[in-house]
């Protein structure tokens, strides 16, 4: 990895090779969301509590630089669809790597979603993004979800998750965001066939913090290189405490019980 790219990488991944990314890009598609009324307040809390980086939108990056502080920035560069649309359509690249660099981002991120009915549109723009990022030594994160969002989650089998991740890896991305399979052994088998780091997404809001933290702990035991958690942090009553609990598992080797103590 070239020197400049390494510097950017190290603002997201710590020396232990792990990354704790807080996902705050949701309002770019969903608009107003509970817990995200004040992005600046959330950013201050997660930064103080140990988040390494934030996955967010162009608007947040440009309006809340002070609150982002020293956290790394993964800029969401695709989109173009919203919950207000009558019919779901495919995303496209909205920003260039040069736009990301202009606002101080350390990496760029987009959807991948092999198996989606829109893959003939989305996978080519992943390749375009990888190619452009290589010219500027910028890391690329792609979210690999089999079948996309238009298909039922029954598509998200361990085998299909593995296929989606490997396909995105073959396209040249630097790290992958995907869903945890639900058990250590099946996820470990996927990671054994990948040669790029994988961070696990946080998913929909969890009713029980133990379930959330347990899934994160298991994913790390399987070999995941970190997490990219959103709703389960900024929907939580105290985002700072949840951030500290997850950070303890990612970087300090805490058990689930140890992490739960951070929520007391």
Q: Which two tokens stand for residue 57?
A: 């939108």
Q: Decide: 236 and 5 in contact? Cβ < 8 Å.
A: no
Instruction: List the domain range (segments joined by +) for residue 80.
Output: 3-261
Q: Enumerate residues 6+ apart whose C-beta is below 8 A from 117.
A: 148, 150, 151
Number of domains in the chain: 1
pTM above the 0.85 mark?
Answer: yes
* Per-residue pLDDT tens over the stretch 250-262: 999 999 999 999 9
CA atoms of 139 and 190, how far apart (whole Å): 22
* Per-residue pLDDT tens over the stretch 191-231: 999 999 999 998 766 789 999 999 999 999 999 999 999 99
Residue 206 gets which letter from DSSP?
P
* Helix pair 209-222, 239-252: axis angle to 10 deg: 20
* Per-residue pLDDT tens over the stretch 4-56: 899 999 999 999 999 999 999 988 888 889 999 999 999 999 999 999 999 99
CA atoms of 149 and 192, how far apart (whole Å): 26
Residue 22 gets which letter from DSSP?
E
pLDDT at res. 73: 98
The maximal CA–CA distance of the chain, rounded, in angstroms, is 48
CATH of the domain at 92: 3.20.20.70
CA atoms of 212 and 240, how far apart (whole Å): 16
């Amino acid at each position: 990895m070239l020197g400049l790219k390494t510097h950017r990488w190290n603002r997201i991944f710590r020396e232990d090779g792990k990354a704790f990314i807080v996902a705050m890009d949701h309002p770019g598609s969903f608009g107003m969301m509970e817990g995200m009324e004040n992005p600046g307040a959330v950013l201050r809390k997660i930064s103080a509590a140990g988040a390494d980086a934030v996955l967010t939108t162009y608007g947040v990056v440009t309006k809340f630089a002070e609150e982002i502080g020293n956290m790394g920035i993964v800029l969401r560069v695709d989109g173009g669809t919203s919950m207000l649309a009558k019919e779901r359509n495919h995303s496209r690249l909205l920003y260039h790597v040069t736009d990301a660099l202009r606002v101080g981002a350390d990496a760029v991120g987009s959807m991948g979603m092999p198996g989606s009915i829109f893959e003939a549109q989305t996978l080519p723009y992943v390749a375009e993004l990888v190619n452009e990022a290589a010219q500027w030594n910028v890391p690329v994160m792609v979210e690999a979800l089999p079948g996309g969002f238009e298909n039922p989650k029954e598509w998200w089998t361990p085998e299909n998750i593995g296929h989606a991740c490997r396909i995105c890896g073959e396209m040249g991305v630097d790290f992958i965001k995907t869903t945890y399979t639900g058990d250590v052994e099946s996820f470990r088998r996927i990671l054994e066939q990948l040669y790029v780091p994988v961070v696990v997404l946080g998913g929909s809001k969890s009713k029980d913090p133990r379930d959330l933290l347990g899934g994160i702990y298991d994913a790390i035991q399987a070999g995941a290189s970190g997490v990219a958690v959103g709703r389960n942090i900024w929907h939580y009553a105290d985002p700072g405490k949840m951030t500290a609990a997850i950070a303890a598992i990612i970087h300090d080797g805490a058990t689930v019980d140890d992490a739960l103590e951070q929520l007391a």
